[in-house]
Amino acid sequence: MSDLKYLGIANPSKLHWNLSPQELTQHTIEKGQGTTNDTGALVVNTGKFTGRSPKDKFMVKDAITENHIDWENAAFNIPFTSEQFDKLFHKVTAYLNDKEVYSRDCIACTADEYKMNVRVVTEYPWSNMFAEQYVYPSNGCSKRKFLSSMACYLCSRIHG
């Protein structure tokens, strides 16, 4: 798939696909979003929100997930309705519509019974590289259906 229209991102100002870590590093430096240290590693100041917060993990609770997730552990598995997800999804895609975006086609998990195609769409090159470190390359699986993940959108903008 060569565009993101099916997600509702019809008019990004620029769209980058599956860039290498070197290309993402270069984009990050050119945009003034990071630098390299004395070993050549990319360094990015993410501000006060520097880690993954388990209390910011929301999952859609529906007929598919209802009996497969430990909903009793509400500190880590916060239920989210399909309607809330749709509202958030549409706000994120509207936000990204005129932005320069970075898209990565990849695979989460290599075990056949759990393997899932994932398309990661990010606003920043360094966040796309962060995602690249946690997944496997799709190796030409781009014609398959992809679950989409859009990162680097401050959800407080939409929940606030």
Q: How many domains does the chain fold into? A: 1
Q: Are 128 and 136 in contact (CB under 8 A)?
A: no
115 in a domain, yes or no? yes
What is the per-residue pLDDT across 13-71, written as a single tens digit (0 to 9) for each? 999 999 999 999 999 999 999 999 999 999 998 877 666 676 777 889 999 889 988 88
Residue range(s) defining the domain that contains residue 142: 12-34+98-160
127 in a domain, yes or no? yes
82 in a domain, yes or no? no
Least confident of 88-92, 105-109, 126-130, 134-138: 134-138
Query: What tokens were used for 39?
Result: 């070993």
If pLDDT is split at 50, 70 and 90, which confidence band does 153 have?
very low
What pLDDT sits at residue 1?
Answer: 46
If pLDDT is split at 50, 70 and 90, which confidence band does 155 have?
very low
75 in a domain, yes or no? no
Give the dihedral sign, CA 90/125/134/18: positive
130 in a domain, yes or no? yes
What pLDDT sits at residue 109?
Answer: 81
Rounded-to-5 percentages of helix, strand, coil across the chain = 25, 25, 50
Determine the length of the chain. 160
Q: Are 115 and 141 in contact (CB under 8 A)?
A: no
112 in a domain, yes or no? yes
Distance CA 154, CA 26 (A): 24
1 in a domain, yes or no? no
Output the domain CATH number for residue 121: 3.40.449.10
Strand, helix or coil at 12?
coil
Output the furthest CA–CA distance in the chain (Å, rounded): 51
80 in a domain, yes or no? no
Angle at 46 between CA 106 and CA 118, to 5 degrees: 15
What is the per-residue pLDDT across 62-84, written as a single tens digit (0 to 9) for each? 998 899 888 887 678 889 899 99
What pLDDT sits at residue 99?
Answer: 93
